[in-house]
Amino acid sequence: MAFESCLFCLMFLLAAGTLTGTLYAMWVSFHEQEIRAIWRVGCAGVLLTLFFVAAAKTGLWLSLPLVVLTFCTGMILWLPWRQRKETPSIPVRCIDERDTIFSRSHLEPGSERFDSYYAANPEKRSLDDGFRAKPGLLKPGSRYFDPHLFAAAEASFSAVAALHSLAEGTPHSQQKSTDALQITALIKQWGLKLGARGVGITGLQDYHLYTHLGRNEPYGQEIVREHEYAIAVTVEMSRQMLDHAPYAPAVMESAQQYFNAGAIAVQLALFIRNLGYPARAHIDGNYQVICPLVARDAGLGEIGRMGLLMTPGLGPRVRLAVVTTNLPLICDAPGFDDTVLDFCRRCEKCATVCPSQAIPYGDCSEKNGVRRWQIDSEACYTYWCSIGTDCGRCVRICPYAHADNGLHNLVRAGVRRSPVARALAVWGDDWLYGKNPKPRPFSGLRGYQG
């Protein structure tokens, strides 16, 4: 009798816990304005709660199996499983910045540089003529042209360009004595105070660098590794603004966070130069390093299917900047994460929603000596030039990109531990939010937060 009473109480505790969790999930979904999720999680939670109550009243024959099943399910979802180990993807070839789509987009038709590049790379000419035939990024005539929000985005990009002159400079003539452990802690603390979501440090490697300049002068100059360390910085992009991707608010937010990341990196570089050590900030439009690779090696995340850095709390919903320096620092462990790669194999949601079909399906494959997913940058950028924004659909719908709160962090914790939780999270995200959710209409910035 005592056992049955305990079991009866346990069943009601499960019912109460289920109802409490349901109400919390509904509140989070309401706050996120996810109407579909509110109804679905509410209906499922109430039905499950009623089922637990009914089972408790039926007695031992149903209650005991349900308790055992619930316990076993929890163990499967939360106990750490041995993960499939991936060989870390370390590039063996460096990238020439002149070959990137952003560098090619700056080539002026009819110029000597234009003719010279396509004479050496004729296979890229027809691809690039495709995006040049479109109105262009932030240009009138593009599908989602908005004269006011595009002007705001242009202002942020112009502000980033104004920071270029501060990216590098001569260090102070008198070098100050520093302790590597203390100065590393100070840089991380200050970076977070300046607005960074993550700050990580790695030893600078040759594969982190572009081989030649492609977007700055002197065009085509070889890039040589001069610094020993790299500081990677991430800043958060607003979930609210990205909910409207690919409409104008998405590029407005993207540009603003490029500026915020750049401002943090420039201040860190100036600080280090004030200590008497060389330092260079690598910010939008003025890179010598491949930021996602640096950030991955600095422990800030893993590179996923869409080719972007997947951070633990925000997924790809970040912008990056890097500072390289010879100031002695303490490096972080790399961000190699087998669970992220496994989740991306299962998910494919970004490939499904990509309007240009630039993101591949299936498993990663070897590209230039590295196992990774390779996006079709020409297709992606051509779509940008057609709509006038940098799209952002893949970032917006990524299950990792949900808000950094208790509910989604609970899911993230399970995803890190169990392949069953990863499979369930992929299915659950589609069921709650839709496989290809529509972007939200935009009616102004009132109530929006950064």
Q: Where are the domains of the chain?
A: 1-79, 97-396
DSSP character string of 4-70: HHHHHHHHHHHHHHHHHHHHHHHHHHHHTT-HHHHHHHHHHHHHHHHHHHHHHHH-HHHHHHHHHHH
Residue with tokens 């590049």: 117
Asked if 249 and 450 touch (Cβ cutoff 8 Å), the reply is no
SS3 label, residue 2 = helix
pLDDT tens profile 61-73: 566 676 677 777 7
Q: Distance between CA 52 and CA 63 in Å, rounded? A: 8
State the helix-helix crossing angle for 419-433 and 406-417, rounded to 10 degrees: 140
Asked if 214 and 98 touch (Cβ cutoff 8 Å), the reply is yes
* pLDDT at position 106 over 70: yes
pLDDT given at position 164: 97
Q: Which of 1, 91, 108 is nearest to 303 (CA)?
A: 91
Residue 343 DSSP symbol: H
111-120, 285-294, 415-424, range with the lowest pLDDT: 415-424
Q: Distance between CA 102 and CA 335 in Å, rounded? A: 27
Sign of CA dihedral 126, 130, 131, 132: positive
Dig out the tokens for 417 from the structure. Answer: 């531990």
pLDDT band (50, 70, 90) for residue 448? low
Q: Which of 352, 293, 294 is nearest to 323 (CA)?
A: 294
pLDDT given at position 361: 95
pLDDT given at position 63: 66
* pLDDT at position 15 over 90: no
pLDDT band (50, 70, 90) for residue 367? confident
User: Which of residues 356 and 66 earns the better pLDDT score?
Assistant: 356
pTM of the complete model beyond 0.85:
yes
Q: Distance between CA 109 and CA 111 in Å, rounded? A: 6
SS3 label, residue 435 = coil
Dig out the tokens for 143 from the structure. Answer: 């599908």
SS3 label, residue 211 = coil
State the helix-helix crossing angle for 60-78 and 406-417, rounded to 10 degrees: 80
Integer distance in angstroms from the first to the last C-alpha of the chain?
58
pLDDT tens profile 25-63: 999 999 999 999 999 999 999 998 888 777 767 765 566
